[in-house]
Amino acid sequence: MVDSAILYGVLGAIVNGLRVGSLYGLMALGLTLIFRVTKVPNFAYAEYITYGAYAAYLAAVAAGANGVELVIALIAAVIIGAIAALASDELAFKPLWKRGATPLHLLVASIGVGLVLRYSLLAIAASAAGLLEAALPVRSSTLISIGGIVSIETSHLLAMGAATAFAIALHWLFTRTRTGKAMRATASNPVLARVSGINIYAIRRTTWLIGGGLAGFAGFVYAYYYYVNPESGWLMLLWIFAAATMGGFTFYGSIISGVLLGLAEQVISFLANMYLGLSTAYAPVIALVALIIVLMYRPEGVIRLESLSLRRRA
């Protein structure tokens, strides 16, 4: 018979895995959009999340406890994330792309851009009191009991609801709007899209703005759940790329893969700690192993729901 303490622990790990996994999926959405349209494997994407998180914190502090500080923080996070992403493309990626840079060149450039963004923020945070660790003011939330066994805070539904809503919105944008069709055409063949009358530079700017805005929103959610430091986004990069890669760089696939990663990480690390005495600090190994296996055996991704949908519509 299963020990009740272990059962409660596993159920708690599942609930926490859903919350954490939804955050992974949410973070992967902007990366997925940018990669699908521009083909930039952007390691600097994690820094947009960090900038969004810090923008949310500073905006909330500046607004004070006036009842709408979290709304102001959210808006600031989205704007700063979008600006950081667009600036990265305009100053680094687009000039390289115009010169015929390969995806490998762009990947290396993204590492450099990420270093500049990260250590610029670190220099600023180190010179100001209270910025090396920051977190949003969190309002009290209601506990929802699940079968009288485990409880979940209503605030923890934020990442789950946002991830689902944004995945649906991005899928609709990609499949039902003229802008989305132009994005798909630009992703497929930029030269042919330009000859067909599509302003590929406007589409590119739109893509980076939306992708950066999504990263900023993810940064807001991260700052709502955890303390933020200048390396927070960088430390999440493994899970972000794992979720996007396992999901085949599709919107629904990234969300589902992120949730599965979160569940696997929380449940396996709990059981490994319970039975083997392994520290939960080894949890990142789970995402790394999953990413390696996918790249070895299913490099096109495990879950590619949008791709199937687009093929059926074609």
Q: Is residue 164 part of a domain?
A: yes
Task: Dig out the tokens for 2 from the structure.
Answer: 């299963």
Q: For residues 287-308, give the mean pLDDT.
A: 76
Q: Is 243 exposed, middle or buried (0-12, 13-18, 19+ CB in 10 A)?
A: buried
For residues 202-208, give the mean pLDDT: 97
Q: Note the pLDDT of residue 140.
A: 55
In which domain, by residue range, is 69 found?
1-238
**pLDDT, position 145:** 60
pLDDT at residue 146 in the model: 60
**Per-residue pLDDT at 237 exceeds 60:** yes
Residue 305, pLDDT > 70, answer no
> Rounded to the nearest 10 degrees, how much is the dihedral formed by the CA atoms of 113, 119, 124, 130?
120
pLDDT at residue 151 greater than cutoff 70? no
Contact 52, 218 (CB under 8 A): yes
Residue 167 forms part of a structural domain: yes
Rounded Cα distance between 202 and 198, Å, is 9
For residues 198-222, average pLDDT: 97
Which neighbouring-strand residues pair with 151? 145
> What CA–CA distances, in Å, run from 60 to 110, 112, 142?
30, 30, 22
Q: Look at residue 174 and give its three-state secondary structure.
A: helix
Residue 282 lies in a domain: no
Residue 308 confidence (pLDDT) above 60: no
Give the residue from 144, 184, 160 showing the smallest Cα distance to 311: 184
Q: What is the mean pLDDT of residues 231-241?
A: 94
310 pLDDT above the threshold of 60:
no
Report the pLDDT averaged over residues 195-218.
Answer: 96
Average of per-residue pLDDT across 157-178: 89
pLDDT at 122: 94
The rounded percent of the chain whose pLDDT value lies above 90 is 61
Average predicted confidence (pLDDT) for the chain: 88
pLDDT of residue 312: 43
According to DSSP, residue 144 is labeled: E
Q: What would you measure as the largest C-alpha separation in the chain, in angstroms?
A: 68
Looking at residue 148, what is its pLDDT? 59
Q: pLDDT band at 313, cuts 50/70/90?
A: very low
Name the amino acid, one letter, at 184: R
Which two structure tokens, joined as six digits, stand for 107? 């990947």
Residues 6+ apart with CB under 8 A from 20: 262, 265, 266
Token pair 């004070």 is found at: 64
Across 1-10, 148-157, 299-308, least confident range: 299-308
| Model confidence at 196: pLDDT above 50 | yes
Confidence at 314, pLDDT banded by 50, 70, 90: very low
> Which one has a higher pLDDT value, 4 or 238?
238
Contact (Cβ atoms closer than 8 angstroms) between residue 290 and residue 264: yes
Structure confidence at residue 64 (pLDDT): 81
In-domain check, residue 168: yes
Task: Tell me: pLDDT of 304 over 70.
Answer: no
216 assigned to some structural domain: yes
Residue 252 maps to a domain: no
Paired tokens of 84 = 């950081």
Total domains, the chain: 1
Query: Could you tell me if residue 280 is inside a domain?
Result: no
Q: Which pLDDT score is estimated for 65?
A: 72
* Sign of torsion over alpha carbons 314, 187, 236, 166: negative
Q: Which positions ≥6 away from 277 have C-beta within 8 Å?
A: none
Is 249 inside any structural domain?
no
For residues 34 and 208, the answer to whether their CB atoms sit within 8 Å is yes
Cβ atoms of 68 and 4 closer than 8 Å: no
**CA distances (Å), 306 to each of 26, 254, 255, in order?**
16, 10, 12
The pLDDT confidence band at residue 143, using thresholds 50, 70 and 90, is low
Q: Which of 34, 206, 218, 230 is nearest to 117 (CA)?
A: 230
Model confidence pLDDT, tens digit, residues 46-104: 999 999 999 999 999 998 877 788 899 999 999 999 999 999 999 999 999 999 999 99
Long-range contacts of 271-275, Cβ-Cβ distance < 8 Å, separation of 24 or more: 271/10, 274/6, 274/9
